[in-house]
Amino acid sequence: MQGAYNDGRTARTLAVPVALDGETLVFQADNGEHRWPLASLTIEALQDRVRLSQRGGGDARLSLALEDWRALTRNAHVHHRAQRRRLFALVAALATAAASLATFVFVVIPAASGPLARRTPPELERKIGDNFEKQLTIGLRPCGGKEGQAALAALGHRIGAAGDTPFQVRVRAVHAPMVNALALPGGAVLITDQLIDLTRSPDELSAVIAHEVAHLRQRHVMQAVWRSFGFGVILDAMVGGGTGAGQQVVLLAGSATSLRYSRSAEAEADRIGQALLARQGLSSAGMASFFQRLAGTSEGPGSRAVRELISDHPDTERRAEASRARATPGASAFTSAEWRSVKAACKDGWRLRRPF
Partner 1 sequence: MIQVQHDEVGGDRLVLTQKGPLKSFLFLSLRNGLLNVITLTLYRFWGRTEVRRRLWATTYLNDDPFEYTGKGIELFLGFLFAIGVVVLPFLIVLFGAQFLGPALAGLVILPLYIFLLFVFGFGRFTAFRYLATRTSWRGVRFHLRGSPTGFGLAWLGYVLLSAVTLGWFWPAAQRRLSGRLWGGLSFGNHNFQFHPEEARRVGVYGSYAVGWVLGIVGYVIFVAVIVATLAPQIAAAQKTGAPPGFTLAHMATIYIATGGLTLFYVFALAPFHAAMLRSVVAGIGFADVRFKLQLGWLEFALLAVSNIVLLTISLGFLMPFVEARSRKFLIARLDTRGAFDLAVIGQGDAPRPSTGEGLADAFGVATV
β-pairing verdict for 188-192 and 170-174: parallel
Identify any residues that bridge with 189 across adjacent strands, giving them in sequence order.
171, 183
Q: Of 249, 260, 250, 239, whose CA–CA distance to 310 is shortest?
A: 260
Write out the binding residues for partner 1, residues 204-223 only, by CB under 8 A: none
Task: Answer yes or no whether residue 103 interacts with partner 1 by CB under 8 A.
Answer: no
Closest approach of Cβ 204 to partner 1, in Å?
A: 17
Using only the alpha carbons of the chain, give its radius of gyration.
Answer: 34
Task: Answer yes or no whether residue 139 interacts with partner 1 by CB under 8 A.
Answer: no
Write out the binding residues for partner 1, residues 258-297 only, by CB under 8 A: 297
Closest approach of Cβ 238 to partner 1, in Å?
A: 7
Asked if residue 22 lies in contact with residue 78, where contact means CB atoms within 8 angstroms, the answer is no
CA distance between the termini of the chain: 78
Residue closer to partner 1, measured from CB, 30 or 44: 44
Q: Which range, of 25-33, 95-103, 163-171, 265-273, touches partner 1 by CB under 8 A?
A: 95-103
Size of the site for partner 1 (CB under 8 A): 63
Binding characters for partner 1, 147-176, by CB under 8 A (x = yes): ------------------------------
Residue closer to partner 1, measured from CB, 59 or 164: 59
Residue closer to partner 1, measured from CB, 278 or 291: 291
Closest approach of Cβ 51 to partner 1, in Å?
A: 7
Residue type, 133: E
- Find the binder of partner 1 among 95, 107, 108, 252 (CB under 8 A): 95
Alpha helix segments (H runs only) across 104-187? 109-119, 122-139, 146-162
Q: How far apart are CA 150 and CA 295, in angstroms?
A: 30
Q: How far apart are CA 308 and CA 317, in angstroms?
A: 11
Q: How far apart are CA 315 and CA 325, in angstroms?
A: 16
Identify any residues that bridge with 44 across adjacent strands, giving them in sequence order.
51
Task: Answer yes or no whether residue 303 interacts with partner 1 by CB under 8 A.
Answer: no
134 phi-psi bin (left φ>0, alpha ψ -120 to 50, beta other): alpha
Asked if residue 223 lies in contact with residue 258, where contact means CB atoms within 8 angstroms, the answer is no
Q: Which range, of 76-84, 203-211, 230-238, 282-290, touches partner 1 by CB under 8 A?
A: 230-238
- Find the binder of partner 1 among 233, 252, 309, 331 (CB under 8 A): 233
- Find the binder of partner 1 among 21, 22, 299, 349 (CB under 8 A): 299
Write out the binding residues for partner 1, residues 34-63 only, by CB under 8 A: 44, 46-47, 49, 51, 59-61, 63
Asked if residue 194 lies in contact with residue 217, where contact means CB atoms within 8 angstroms, the answer is no
Q: How far apart are CA 156 and CA 331, in angstroms?
A: 16
Task: Answer yes or no whether residue 247 interacts with partner 1 by CB under 8 A.
Answer: yes
- Find the binder of partner 1 among 64, 159, 191, 278 (CB under 8 A): 64
Burial class (CB in 10 A: 0-12, 13-18, 19+), 179: middle
- Find the binder of partner 1 among 249, 252, 306, 337 (CB under 8 A): 249
Q: How far apart are CA 163 and CA 181, in angstroms?
A: 19
Residue closer to partner 1, measured from CB, 64 or 181: 64
Residues at the interface with partner 1 (CB under 8 A): 1-4, 6-15, 44, 46-47, 49, 51, 59-61, 63-65, 68, 90-91, 94-95, 97-98, 101-102, 127-128, 131, 134, 177-179, 194, 197, 233, 237-250, 297, 299, 351, 354, 356
